[in-house]
Structure 1
Amino acid sequence: MIDIENSDIGIPEYTYSNVNFKSSLQNNISDFGDFFEHYMLKNKPCIIQNVVSDWECAKKWVTEDEINYDYMVEEYGDMDAPVANCKNIQYNAQCKSNMKVHEFLKYLQCNTNNELLYLKDWHLRKNRPNDKFYEILPYFAMDWLNEFALDNKDDDFMFVYIGPQGSRTPLHEDVYCSYSWSVNIVGRKKWILFPPGEEDKLKDRFGNLPLLFEPEKHVNVKYYEIIQEKGDALFVPSGWHHQVANELNTISINHNWINGCNIEFVWKALQKCLVSVENQIAEFKDTSEYSIECQLILKSLFGMDFQSFLDFLCYIAKKRMSQLQGESNTSLSKYSLGINIIKFDLKNILKVMNSIQVHPVFQKENILSSIKNDLLEIRTAITKVL
């Protein structure tokens, strides 16, 4: 059972104490309630140590603190996976292509060429749904994003990463301004995380971020430097830009996720991206297609437009209403949501719906017409039960 004691807890503003941001985090998380109150709600990063001892992948993918290449090739070798070339950069991003897993593992084992390849964003769990190679930790079970994806048979946000020493992921913010978590099965990663707003100090005059943050070139920037060891789970909060480097040959499992604690951050990020799009094509503001074009561009940039965001929000709201009325309250097929968590979800959905209802896009006749009534009905129903 996943629950919280106080269903009236809200989402606080960002707060920071006077700490040394250039430091390693070591947090002893006692239980879900501790993590919920001190890290998810406060949108602060943390490390939870030694979490993979019972995972099948920790036993089969690793031998003597090294990748078990023979097992990985035999089990997954014929599968395709996306591989990034860390040395081939175009438009400030690593170039990607598909590769057979056995070919990548052969490269990783020998690593005699000049390339620096990184297998990342591999949907292994989706392609092998019966392969229970890991379990979602209770801390991360409030996961609307993957709940929605699995229920609707969409692409999930569950990934495997395999990279050699020196491979890296450039400076970025996670998709949808979501949370993410990362667990090292073997190896070591070095993370640099920036509290929201610090990334603005790194932008050039065109608003572009550098590919990588270099401390000696950027002064007066607050950041966390975090070493993630084998067996560690790292929680990355919403809106925290970060970059990652593998200090050893490393395998990790990563999820992006959204829930009642950060849905307002996602909504604010979606609105901010729309404003940017509107400013970019402001010269077409008086055309009849302007609003629709803005939504199309928004979806290409953010990954969601207003329609898909509302579809997502309404789906979770309907499901939580049904759960409140006694239907199955499991999350990600394992954890049961307590009554306080269900009400917490509905409370924060209602807060976002109230904001959506007064947004200018909601008032336009040619936008969101198919879901306006649905949202208003759900909003009324939630108000009645809270």
Structure 2
Amino acid sequence: MVSNAGIVEQEIKLKDRYGRFVVPDVTADVIDKTKYPRFHEAHAMYVVQETGDAIFVPSGWYHQVKNLKDTISINHNWFNGYNIREVWGFLKREYAAVEHELDDLKEIGLVGRDFVDQCQVVMLANTGMNYVEFRELLYAKTIKMLSWCEHPENSDRMLVKRDLLSHLGYVSLSDTGTQKSTSAGPMWTCNWSYCVMLAAGPQTKQ
């Protein structure tokens, strides 16, 4: 079995001598060894995907596709608890880029919460997800998994709970929104840390 760390290590060997860009075609007959000095060290896995086959490519794995004939390919990008750290890092970088590009808006009076909201709107258009949607997704998933853990027949419920708490810990931060309480409990617009609190369970007051 090939480990995720082993595959990611191979990708480093595909990059140029500055560690920035991956070789454009790993099947090329001639590769510039001065530009890609470690390319010859990389070991590839080759897979032929037949009609009707689905291939899962884990997050962080470099892959290249070569169509052997006219092909219609359907791709779907998704994430789960095991790569949520990378997803959160990506969203933070995307937000920082949008914030930088819209910085001029502050000169015309768009500041504070209004500026942040506008950045979120642009980020959603560019990336397909912003902080608000990401937070709502985590909250909904937390509720669903904890509800599953309440059933006695689920023998590994404590393991799932610890796993959930561990993954949510990657995305906790101090100020991404205002927690709002209602008679039904905190709304989904609450602080990130509320998801972690849910997974941790009731806290005993000292």
Common fold by TM > 0.5: yes
Shift of 1:230: 4.3
Distance 2:98 2:153 in 1: 41
**Displacement of 1:385:** 6.9
Higher strand share: 1
Aligned to 1:202: 21
TM-score under structure 1 length normalisation: 0.38
Aligned residue for 1:229?
Answer: 48
- Partner amino acid, structure 2, of 1:281: L
1:271 is matched with: 92
For 1:261, what is the secondary structure of its paired residue?
A: helix
3-state SS, counterpart of residue 244 of structure 1: coil
Query: Is 1:291 matched with 2:116?
Result: yes
CA contact (8 A) 1:260 1:344 kept: no
Mapped to 2, the partners of 1:290 and 1:237 lie a distance apart of: 35
Name which structure has the greater RCO, CA cutoff 8 Å, separation 6+: 1
Count of residues in Structure 1 that have an aligned counterpart in Structure 2: 181
- Are the counterparts in 2 of residues 195 and 240 from structure 1 also a CA contact under 8 Å? no
Q: Residue 339 in 1 paired to residue 188 in 2?
A: no
Deviation of the 1:273 alpha carbon: 0.9
One-letter amino acid of the counterpart of residue 236, structure 1: V
Please list every run of 5 or more consecutive structure 2 residues that lacks an aligned counterpart in the other structure: 180-185
Instruction: Deviation per CA, 1:347-382: give whole Å up to 9, x if none.
Output: 2343034x23x25x4479xxxx96343755443232
Q: 1:260 to 1:282 in 2, by over 3 A?
A: same
3-state DSSP of counterpart to 2:93: helix
Match of 1:380 in 2: 197
Structure 1 position 384, deviation (Å): 2.5
Preserved contact between residue 350 and residue 379 of structure 1 (Cα < 8 Å): yes
The aligned counterpart of 2:102 is 281
Identify which of 76, 81, 87 aligns with 1:260: 81
Cα distance in 2 for partners of 1:196, 1:277 equals 31
Coordinate RMSD, CA, aligned? 4.2
- For residue 258 of structure 1, give the secondary structure of its aligned residue in structure 2: coil
Q: Which has the higher helix share?
A: 2
**5 Å matches for 1:211-230?**
213-214=24-25, 216=31, 219-220=36-37, 225-230=44-49
Scaled by the length of structure 2, the TM-score of the pair is 0.64
Q: How does 1:68-107 map to 2 (within 5 A)?
A: none
Matching residue of 1:352: 170
Q: Distance in 2 between matches of 1:349 and 1:296?
A: 26
Describe the SS at the equivalent of 2:36.
coil
Question: SS of the counterpart of 2:64?
Answer: strand
CA offsets, 1:79-134, max 9 Å, x none?
Answer: xxxxxxxxxxxxxxxxxxxxxxxxxxxxxxxxxxxxxxxxxxxxxxxxxxxxxxxx
- Deviation string, structure 1 residues 121-151 (Cα, Å, up to 9, x no partner): xxxxxxxxxxxxxxxxxxxxxxxxxxxxxxx
Residue 245 to residue 380, structure 1, CA distance change in 2 (3 Å): same
Task: Indicate the residue corresponding to 1:371 in structure 2.
Answer: 188
TM superposition shift of 1:383: 1.6
- Distance in 1 separating the partners of 2:164 and 2:46: 36
Identity %, equivalent residues: 24
2: distance between equivalents of 1:43 and 1:315? 33
Query: What is the identity, as a one-letter code, of the residue corresponding to 1:352?
Result: Y
User: Which blocks of at least 5 consecutive residues in structure 1 are unaligned?
Assistant: 1-26, 29-37, 46-192, 204-211, 330-336
Distance in 1, matches of 2:197 and 2:124, equals 28
